[in-house]
Structure 1
Amino acid sequence: MDVADVVVVVSAAVLIAALGWFFFGPRRARTARLEGGVQRVEVTVRGGYSPMSSGSARGCRIIAAAMALSSLSVVTNASRLRRWHSSPLPPAAAAAEPGAEPRTETPADHAPHSARTPEGEVSDRRP
């Protein structure tokens, strides 16, 4: 094993140990509050949004209205798609005989070609 192999193996071992510690390492335990026979736990998502953080019920109503409109939009679009039917495909061209090679086109097929006239060759190429 050369130096690069040793670096890769050590890096992999450190990464595996770090992931193991992250997922299975010790966590701070929290207890739930008991209110009226119901356990309550506050969960905070880092970088998340909590509609109740302002403490107003208006935020919950706005969120509920947005969710209702979103659901209405999804149902409306689903029913529109259910009624939509694509137009039939045009009839297929006559099938080639079995074993025939497919026709291919290249840019050279569409390039202007030189022509021959009684006076001589005429080229559409510019000098």
Structure 2
Amino acid sequence: MNKRGVTLIELLIASFFLLFALIVLAWGLSSSLKASTNNYILNQANILADSQMESLRALSLGSSVNIQNSNYCVNNSSICFKLSAVRSKDPNSNCDLLSVTVSDTATPARFQNINLQSEACQ
């Protein structure tokens, strides 16, 4: 048996393992980037929903607001959401009902609707 060098078969096997490792690494990086992007989009939608809910809370008691399907875009208009916000008088109490819904405009949707509901009382 020749001990002076590497045979072609050994070289092919080593190349196969190296290629496999590179493919797994590329897949892992791709999955990580996709998850990071989806988390960023969901975080922006939550920020929008919280901000709109705080705007509704800042209104005086008895104020009525109805915003339906307004488009809000972030990140140089690359990520857009639909926003619906309602503040209305609760007929059964002295409180106002607050409702905010944020939905994704992308197809397919990257997240399910975010629904926030609250009451504002004296």
Structure 1 or 2, whichever has the larger Rg, is 1
Normalising by structure 1, we get a TM-score of 0.29
Which protein has greater RCO, CA pairs closer than 8 Å, 6+ apart?
Answer: 2
Higher strand share: 2
TM-score (norm 2): 0.30
